[in-house]
């Protein structure tokens, strides 16, 4: 088992394109780290640099006590699971899992023991005699993971391993990866473009955009306190709603004026703003769809919203509205509603809304940084 450190790591190609800028991260022993971001953000390139499949242009990568910048992939004591499984079609599941051990000339008895242990962990003991073409996508992915497990690596690298599976199977495999992590107790670095995977799997998540690290934090930190507009918009489904506001200070702290509706800012935001040398008069207020509340109050204590689309999602209704000239999405829980109340809500064309004040975030209009998060970086969007 080992820590992984990336210090000022950079990747620039011969054409001058910089895929990864000044990447810094310390991954603890046995930690599960997820790199997430849109296509082309540099997450897979970063993983490949850790693996040694991509040369670095600057900085330093260490695994355990060893700096591995110039070390061959086979000498880094890592195992990697790819998106496309990379199984050998002409040999059995048993031999696919055993392949790396055979290359290392591990004795047959030990090979058999390790293959059987891995198959037992992954629930594929009854598939060992089959060939890959006889397996489903989920079974093939288990075999690919088994081939990595038997090596007992210091670091387990996974590059979008579930992206080829259908939605139901992805959900099942996510749960199995969580159980696998508990059983094998090693360091994981996992790449995905799916923020749901990131939120459910990661001890910490690294959000990337355009080759830069936007924020590193726990799922709760990223969801509740996004460092900038990019993270706020990327993490969460549906994404966070944004409102242009005026910040007004009085004896009780700061209030956000949203189209005439006054929103008292939470204590943590007030405390952060009070420490700043200069607080902007205008800002962007971020409110997640589940933190918008329906109200009957049509006074200045609420905003009017014209309903454009409603989506019945089973346990909740997603309502797309036009509010203050912008699209604003609400998530309304319906567990306590009768069927007739749900139908009535789905038919509404106009709503009055307010916010759960303690859940809002405030962002700088110039660079998109969260005004209450220390060290927040610009959103680049």
pLDDT average, residue stretch 159-178: 86
CATH number for the domain including 197? 3.40.50.300
pLDDT average, residue stretch 355-368: 95
List the end-to-end C-alpha distance of the chain, in Å, as a whole number.
38
Q: Tell whether 216 and 79 lie within a shared domain.
A: yes
Q: Tell whether 113 and 17 lie within a shared domain.
A: yes
Among 203, 229, 255, which residue terminates a domain? 229
pLDDT(131) > 70: yes
Among 7, 157, 156, residue whose Cα is nearest residue 67: 7
Residue 57 lies in a domain: yes
Residue 121 lies in a domain: yes
Residue 371 lies in a domain: no
The model's pLDDT over 13-57, given as tens digits with 9 standing for 90+, comes to 999 999 999 999 999 999 999 999 999 999 999 999 999 999 999
Residue 194 lies in a domain: yes
Residue 224: what pLDDT?
95
Q: Tell whether 203 and 336 lie within a shared domain.
A: no
Q: Tell whether 272 and 149 lie within a shared domain.
A: no
* 300 confidence band (pLDDT: 50, 70, 90): low
Q: Tell whether 243 and 224 lie within a shared domain.
A: no
Residue 156: what pLDDT?
93
Structure tokens at 192: 């995905």
Most confident region among 157-171, 206-220, 268-282 by mean pLDDT: 206-220
C-alpha span between 254 and 273 (Å, rounded): 8
Give the pairing of strands 241-250 and 155-159.
unpaired
Q: Tell whether 295 and 353 lie within a shared domain.
A: yes
Residue 380 lies in a domain: no
Residue 374 lies in a domain: no
Q: Tell whether 278 and 202 lie within a shared domain.
A: no
Q: Tell whether 319 and 337 lie within a shared domain.
A: yes
pLDDT(141) > 90: no
Domain that holds residue 323: 239-363
Transcribe 27-64 into DSSP letters: EPTT-EEEEE-STTSSHHHHHHHHHTSS--SEEEEEET
Q: Tell whether 248 and 216 lie within a shared domain.
A: no
Mean pLDDT of the chain: 92
Q: Tell whether 210 and 249 lie within a shared domain.
A: no
Residue 137: what pLDDT?
85
* 64 confidence band (pLDDT: 50, 70, 90): very high
Among 251, 353, 274, residue whose Cα is nearest residue 307: 353
pLDDT(165) > 90: no
pLDDT(181) > 80: yes
Residue 319: what pLDDT?
96
CATH number for the domain including 303? 2.40.50.100
pLDDT average, residue stretch 301-328: 94
Q: Tell whether 225 and 243 lie within a shared domain.
A: no
Residue 48 lies in a domain: yes
Number of domains in the chain: 2
Residue 323: what pLDDT?
96
Among 229, 249, 267, which residue terminates a domain? 229
Among 160, 185, 184, 187, residue whose Cα is nearest residue 174: 160
Among 153, 210, 199, residue whose Cα is nearest residue 21: 210
pLDDT(308) > 70: yes
pLDDT(269) > 80: yes
Residue 265 lies in a domain: yes
Q: Do 243 and 287 touch, CB atoms closer than 8 A? A: yes
pLDDT average, residue stretch 303-320: 94
Q: Tell whether 170 and 66 lie within a shared domain.
A: yes
Beta-ladder partners of 307: 321
HEC readout, 193-244: CCHHHHHHHCCEEEEEECCEEEEEECHHHHHHCCCEHHHHHHCCCCCCEEEE
Most confident region among 23-37, 84-98, 153-167, 290-304 by mean pLDDT: 23-37
Among 230, 286, 274, residue whose Cα is nearest residue 249: 274
pLDDT average, residue stretch 218-227: 96
* 299 confidence band (pLDDT: 50, 70, 90): low
Q: What is the three-class DSSP state of 184?
A: helix
Among 58, 57, 51, residue whose Cα is nearest residue 72: 51
* 290 confidence band (pLDDT: 50, 70, 90): very high
Q: How far is CA 239 from the centre of its chain?
A: 13
Residue 229: what pLDDT?
97
Q: What is the three-class DSSP state of 248?
A: strand
């Amino acid at each position: 088992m080992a820590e992984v450190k990336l210090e000022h790591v950079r990747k620039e190609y011969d054409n001058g394109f910089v895929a990864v800028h000044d990447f810094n991260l310390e991954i603890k022993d046995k930690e599960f780290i997820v790199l997430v971001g849109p296509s082309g953000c540099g997450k897979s390139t970063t993983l490949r640099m850790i693996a040694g499949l991509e040369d670095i242009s600057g900085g330093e990568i260490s695994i355990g006590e060893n700096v591995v910048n110039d070390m061959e992939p086979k000498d880094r004591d890592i195992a990697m699971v790819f998106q496309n499984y990379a199984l050998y079609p002409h040999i059995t599941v048993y031999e696919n899992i055993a392949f790396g051990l055979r290359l290392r000339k591990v004795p047959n008895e030990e090979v058999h023991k390790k293959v059987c242990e891995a198959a037992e962990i992954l629930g594929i003991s009854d598939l060992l005699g089959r060939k890959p073409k006889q397996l489903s996508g989920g079974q093939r992915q288990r075999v690919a993971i088994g081939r990595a497990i038997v090596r007992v690596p210091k670091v387990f690298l996974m590059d979008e391993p579930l992206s080829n599976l259908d939605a139901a199977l992805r959900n099942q495999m996510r749960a199995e990866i969580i159980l696998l992590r508990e059983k094998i107790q090693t360091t994981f670095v996992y790449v995905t473009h799916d923020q749901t995977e990131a939120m459910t799997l990661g001890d910490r998540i690294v959000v990337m955009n355009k080759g830069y690290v936007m924020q590193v934090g726990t799922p709760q930190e990223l969801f509740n306190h996004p460092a900038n507009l990019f993270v706020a918009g990327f993490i969460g489904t549906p994404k966070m709603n944004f409102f242009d506001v005026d910040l007004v200070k009085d004896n009780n702290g700061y209030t956000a004026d949203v189209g005439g509706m006054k929103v008292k800012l939470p204590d943590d935001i007030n405390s952060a703003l009070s420490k700043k040398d200069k607080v902007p008069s205008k800002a962007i207020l971020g409110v997640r769809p589940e933190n918008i509340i329906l109200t009957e109050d049509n006074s200045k204590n609420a905003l009017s919203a014209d309903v454009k689309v409603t989506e019945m999602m089973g346990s909740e209704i997603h309502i797309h509205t036009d509010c203050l000239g912008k699209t604003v999405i609400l998530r309304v829980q319906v567990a306590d509603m009768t069927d007739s109340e749900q139908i009535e809500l789905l038919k509404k064309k106009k709503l009055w809304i307010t916010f759960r004040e303690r859940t809002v975030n405030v962002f700088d209009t110039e660079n998109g940084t969260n005004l209450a998060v220390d060290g927040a970086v610009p959103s680049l969007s």
